[in-house]
Amino acid sequence: MRKSVQHMLEDILRDYPKLPGYIKQREDELKYPTPEQDDNVGGGRALNKLSDPVGREVITINDDRWLQQLKKERQAIDECLDESGVVTEKIIQETYFKGNVGLRMVDLCDRQIIPVSTTKAYELRNSFLVELGKKLNVDVM
């Protein structure tokens, strides 16, 4: 796996605990848009202006690419975690979700936080990243 792809997938995993907040924030931005400021001072009235906020909301929430990407990432990670074993899930949680800054895989294995050897932990992590990349349609090789 290329390092750039690995780093991208690792960044997505680090953001996973924050994804529900990002999704909610984006939906709120689409539901309650800030009105555009009218710079037309002294202009006439807009007679043909349509006001359909509910219709615009449905279209924009369903069509918003960023929101759909966030949901896709969340679903892919959930599926990979469901399909992985207990040890792999523990590796992913300790490495990416808990934010163990400064603790490397070697440290986690030495402290028996992860109950496998360092080599096996790297293998399990790498296979998880490959599966996640496949679910996200990322060229992992």
φ, ψ dihedrals at 69, nearest 5°: -65, -40
Rounded to an integer, what distance in angstroms lies between the CA atom of residue 124 and that of residue 108? 14
Sign of the CA dihedral 76, 141, 96, 25? negative
Pull the structure tokens for residue 116. Answer: 């496998």
Instruction: Give the pLDDT score at 58.
Output: 64
Rounded to an integer, what distance in angstroms lies between the CA atom of residue 141 and that of residue 4? 11
The DSSP code for 18 is G
pTM for the model stands at 0.78
Instruction: Give the pLDDT score at 43.
Output: 59
Instruction: Give the pLDDT score at 35.
Output: 65
Instruction: Give the pLDDT score at 100.
Output: 65
Angle of the 65-83 helix axis to the 19-31 helix axis, nearest 10: 160
Sign of the CA dihedral 64, 67, 70, 72? negative
Contact 96, 12 (CB under 8 A): no
Instruction: Give the pLDDT score at 101.
Output: 65
The DSSP code for 17 is G
Residues of the chain with pLDDT under 70: 35-59, 100-102
At residue 124's C-alpha, the angle toward residues 118 and 129, to 5°, is 125
